[in-house]
């Protein structure tokens, strides 16, 4: 059952839509490289589209009705958006769930040090990544520094044309005989991913009264002096900072035909963006529609901003209460149990250079539309959500009705590896859920690749699901 390539079926008018949507997404991907930046972007777009903040709805005791639009944020790192449907929420909600965190390196809390007159920042990598891929690349710093007085300083260095960039050095080939004997996971070790940030010593004035005041770590002191001037921060402020090291530079069109996009963070922003766009275009649906974009998926969906938190559950309870539909906790439980969800997460695209790890009849291909993974997990489906056949049949009906290009896949050969998403967490509520998303080459690398056709078909799929499920 070979699926058709979407590119072969597009009319001239449809091609314009594909490329226009991709250009909007490419701009988003270039500007939003952290979960905070993504959340701020979606809040801005939601407000412009007439969404009300849930806390404001509660404070003003506003009564919600069909067609009303509401959003809630979770510590600035996750967001849930809703369009109230015509039916009571107790009959279920149609949910698009994706994550907006991506593999990266995080700056440690006591990071800045000097060694042989080089200043470096110590890091701890986040999520599953091949550490050797992160050396000798131009890197940028994104994040926030929270000071003791409550002020939060936003940091973004390395993205403007006249910004400096940073990087992790690597051993030159001439001296790498022993290094090259190591296995891939040992070629570059986690503690070696220190980011080089400076080399100029702080110069003490010639007329200084006490030459003993010369600093023992003059390069580090010069960096601290610059940070004080730029952001009015002290070294101790690193203790309450969240700084992420990400690839510097914009997402780019990829290929002679510009049919693909290379960028950082396709996993999972290539699903988050079309999910949100679909919600904006859904109108007033029959069932309440939700777009849930969460943090921490890459490290197990843990913590207050991950899918394991009660953020979404609490938001739905408040939403039902504001709509006059909350009678007791059981009404919320019923709403979740009767809900339907697409766990919008990326899948591995077939790569002919590494064909041995794929099973060609059951893998995803660039250009053949959105990918459905009935199950993920590893080996014997461990850690997986496994969608019911009846639900898969319903999804097929919806997509065929709307002529959406789609394909089905597994994440590599059995026993080859595997992966997970937030699907099983949604499934814990008893709702129907299946993984669906965009196929990605170079997944979890600093620069990933997707097809513009797959991105557009994901949007069309999500829109059809919100309207029809």
Residue 408 is predicted with a pLDDT of 94
Q: What is the pLDDT of residue 380?
A: 76
Looking at the fold, whether 333 and 445 belong to one and the same domain comes out as: yes
Domain's final residue, options 217, 247, 277: 247
**Does residue 257 lie within any of the structural domains?**
no
Amino acid 145: pLDDT? 97
**Domain limits for position 347:** 6-102+264-468
215 and 123 share one domain: yes
Determine the Cα–Cα distance for residues 262 and 266; give it in Å rounded to an integer. Answer: 8
Residue at 254 is within a domain? no
Question: 291 with 210, same domain?
Answer: no
- 384 part of a folded domain: yes
**Structural domain contains residue 51:** yes
Is 1 inside a domain boundary?
no
Could you tell me if 230 and 273 lie in one domain?
no
* CATH code of residue 335: 3.40.630.10
Statement to judge: residues 95 and 188 lie in one domain: no
Residue 440 lies in a domain: yes
389 and 312 in one domain?
A: yes
Among residues 298, 417, 433, 411, the alpha carbon closest in space to that of 359 is found at 411
Question: Are 151 and 59 found together in one domain?
Answer: no
Q: Where are the alpha helices (DSSP H) in 102-253?
A: 184-187, 218-231
Give CA–CA dist 271/252, Å, rounded: 18
Give the pLDDT score at 469. 86
Co-location of 96 and 123 in the same domain: no
- List C-alpha distances in Å: 5 to 14, 17, 31, 393, 435: 14, 17, 30, 22, 21
The size of the chain, in residues, is 469
Q: Is residue 256 included in any domain, yes or no?
A: no
Whether the bond between 268 and the residue before it is cis, its omega within 30 degrees of 0, is yes
51 plus 11 within the same structural domain: yes
Mean pLDDT per 10-residue run, the chain (469 residues)?
90 98 98 98 98 97 97 98 97 97 97 97 97 98 96 96 97 96 94 97 70 76 95 95 98 98 97 98 96 96 96 97 95 97 95 93 95 83 85 96 95 75 92 96 97 98 96
End position of a domain, from candidates 214, 247, 280: 247
Say if residue 413 is in the same domain as residue 377.
yes
Q: Judge if pTM exceeds 0.85.
A: yes
Locate all alpha helices (DSSP H) within 49-150, ordered by sequence.
54-59
Which of residues 212, 247, 282 is at a domain's end? Answer: 247
Residue 424 contacts residue 383 (beta carbons within 8 Å): yes
- Whether residues 304 and 448 share a domain: the answer is yes
306 with 353, same domain: the answer is yes
Does some domain include residue 252?
Answer: no
Strands (E), 410-460: 418-419, 432-437, 439-440, 448-451
Q: What is the pLDDT of residue 209?
A: 58
CATH at residue 241: 2.30.250.10
Provide the domain count of the chain: 2
């Amino acid at each position: 059952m070979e699926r058709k390539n979407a590119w072969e079926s597009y009319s001239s008018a449809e091609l314009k839509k594909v490329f226009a949507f991709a250009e909007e997404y490419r701009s988003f991907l270039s500007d939003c490289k952290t979960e905070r930046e993504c959340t701020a972007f979606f809040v801005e777009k939601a407000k412009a589209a007439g969404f009300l903040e849930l806390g404001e709805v509660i404070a003003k005791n506003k009564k919600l009705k069909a067609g009303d639009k509401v959003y809630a944020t979770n510590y600035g790192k996750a967001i849930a958006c809703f369009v109230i449907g015509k039916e009571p929420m107790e009959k279920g909600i149609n949910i698009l769930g994706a994550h907006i965190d991506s593999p990266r390196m995080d700056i440690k809390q006591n990071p800045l040090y000097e060694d042989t007159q080089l200043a470096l920042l110590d890091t701890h990598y986040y999520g599953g990544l091949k550490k050797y891929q992160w050396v000798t690349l131009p890197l940028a710093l994104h994040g926030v520094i929270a000071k003791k007085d409550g002020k939060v300083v936003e940091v973004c260095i390395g993205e403007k044309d006249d910004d400096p960039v940073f990087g992790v050095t690597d051993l030159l080939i001439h001296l790498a005989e022993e290094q090259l004997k190591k296995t891939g996971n040992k070629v570059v070790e986690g503690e070696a991913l220190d980011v080089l940030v400076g080399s100029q010593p702080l110069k003490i004035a010639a007329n200084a009264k006490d030459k003993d005041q010369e600093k023992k770590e003059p390069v580090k002191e010069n960096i601290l002096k610059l940070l004080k001037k730029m952001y009015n921060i002290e070294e101790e402020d690193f203790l309450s900072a969240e700084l992420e090291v990400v690839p510097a530079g914009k997402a780019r069109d990829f290929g002679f035909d510009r049919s693909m996009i290379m960028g950082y963070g396709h996993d999972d922003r290539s699903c988050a963006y079309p999910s949100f766009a679909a919600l904006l275009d859904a109108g007033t649906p029959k069932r309440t529609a939700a777009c849930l974009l969460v943090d921490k998926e890459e490290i197990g969906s843990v913590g207050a901003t991950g899918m394991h938190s009660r953020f979404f559950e609490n938001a739905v309870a408040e939403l039902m209460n504001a709509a006059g539909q909350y009678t007791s906790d059981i009404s919320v439980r019923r709403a979740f149990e009767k809900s339907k969800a697409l766990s919008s997460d990326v899948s591995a695209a077939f790569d002919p250079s590494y064909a041995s790890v794929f099973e060609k009849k059951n893998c995803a291909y660039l250009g053949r539309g959105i990918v459905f993974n009935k199950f993920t997990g590893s080996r014997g489906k461990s850690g997986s959500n496994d969608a019911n056949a009846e639900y898969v049949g319903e999804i097929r009906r919806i997509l065929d009705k709307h002529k959406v290009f789609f394909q089905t896949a597994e994440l590599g050969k059995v026993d080859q590896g595997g992966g997970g998403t937030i699907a099983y967490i949604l499934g814990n509520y008893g709702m129907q859920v299946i993984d669906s998303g965009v196929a990605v080459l170079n997944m979890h690398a600093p620069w990933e690749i997707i097809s513009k056709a797959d991105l557009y078909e994901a949007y069309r799929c999500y829109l059809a699901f919100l309207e029809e499920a």
